[in-house]
């Protein structure tokens, strides 16, 4: 029996590829859950609701992700789109948390 997931280079069949993708997706969701935990912390720490949206920080986060994508040789434009959505979703979540903990 083969241990999953195999590295992409070692995959020989689509079930092996899919097992790797599925395992990685689970890891990504776990990492995103941790990231959203930091958004909860930010909501708790920021003194004003106006402090939740920080356009300079947003631009910096997206630029760092794009630079990392370029260094890894993956499509930077795709990563920019994903991070735009991730950061906007994080901001929306943080607003919700900011409001929730101050009700």
| Per-residue pLDDT, 103 | 85
Secondary structure of the chain as H, E, C letters: CCCCCCCHHHCCCHHHHHHHHHHHHHHHHHHHHHHHHHHHHHHHHCCCHHHCCCHHHHHHHHHHHHHHHHHHCCCHHHHHHHHHHHHHHHHHHHHHHHHHHCC
60-102: per-residue pLDDT in tens? 999 999 999 999 999 999 999 999 999 999 999 999 999 999 9
The answer to whether 94 is annotated as binding is: yes
pTM of the model: 0.90
List the chain domain ranges.
8-101
* CA–CA distance, 11 with 17 (Å, rounded to integer): 6
The answer to whether 27 is annotated as binding is: no
The answer to whether 35 is annotated as binding is: yes
| Architecture, CATH, for domain 8-101 | Up-down Bundle (1.20)
Could you tell me the two tokens for 83? 């991070």
17-66: per-residue pLDDT in tens? 999 999 999 999 999 999 999 999 999 999 999 999 999 999 999 999 99
The answer to whether 97 is annotated as binding is: no
């Amino acid at each position: 029996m083969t241990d999953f997931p195999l590295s992409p280079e070692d995959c020989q069949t689509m079930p092996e590829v899919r097992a790797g993708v599925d395992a990685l997706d689970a890891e990504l969701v776990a990492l995103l859950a941790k990231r959203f935990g930091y958004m909860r912390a930010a909501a708790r720490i920021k003194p004003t609701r106006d402090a939740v949206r920080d356009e300079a920080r947003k631009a910096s986060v997206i630029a760092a992700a794009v630079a990392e994508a370029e260094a890894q040789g993956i499509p930077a434009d795709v990563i920019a789109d994903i991070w735009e959505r991730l950061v906007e979703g994080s901001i929306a979540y943080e607003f919700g948390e900011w409001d929730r903990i101050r009700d």
